Amino acid sequence: MRTERSNLAFWLQWVAGTALAELAGLGIAAAAGSSVIRAVGEPAAPGYVQVFVGLAVLLGALQGALVGAVQVGVLGRRLDGLPGWVLASAMGGALTWAVGSVPGIAIGLYLPPVRGPGVPDWLQLLLAMPAGLLAGLILSFPQWRILRHYLANAGWWLPASALAWALGMPLVFVAAGVGWTGGTLLTMLMVIGGLAGAGAVVGALSGAYLVWLSDRLPRRLERRAAARE
């Protein structure tokens, strides 16, 4: 069993690393996506769907790879380097962004614009939670396929990640909403705070689960012990 001090150090490193990596990944993705939209405009024809979904897949893979690379630097110290984690994270990010981008593009293409007041802010934040829940499940599935070879009870990683993203996604929505209001210093700080805050929330909850999981007997050692009996 690891000491409480060791677990706390791991948790803090995981939270800080995830927060910074999500800030970088989401920030780069948002900047790249905005630049493309400014250059070619919003998708206005069905042919644009493939272009924008392809862009979303690339940006999602980049975000996932960045986050995975930082996380493996922390978790890999406990789990024999954790090979495959970066690739799994990139795959999860690509799939999440692909799934998440299609409905928005389809709505913009095939439904007429809605006149009148928009969706209230509080409702947008409320809707962000189930979106985060789904995103967390998709993101964590490829990671779970790696983690299950190292940890008993690794299946808990799926609901842990889903819950973490359900609570973190509203902050992403806040940052996205603020990002369109202008380019002032205060706006930039709010966007940075929102994205980093989302990563910190995700890191705090998922890191707590990892402390619990990695304190359990790794499956490899479990099998060796069973073989000796």
Kindly give the interhelix angle for 47-75 and 4-40, rounded to the nearest 10 degrees: 160
Which residue's structure tokens are 């948790």? 11
Query: What pTM did the predictor assign?
Result: 0.82
Output the pLDDT for position 99: 86
The 3-state secondary structure of 105-170 reads HHHHHHCCCCCCCCCCHHHHHHHHHHHHHHHHHHHHHHHHHHHCCCECCHHHHHHHHHHHHHHHHH
- What confidence score (pLDDT) does residue 60 get? 92
pLDDT value at residue 98: 87
Q: How many residues does the chain have?
A: 229
All residue ranges of the chain with pLDDT < 70 are: 1-2, 37, 40-49, 102-120, 179-183, 215-229
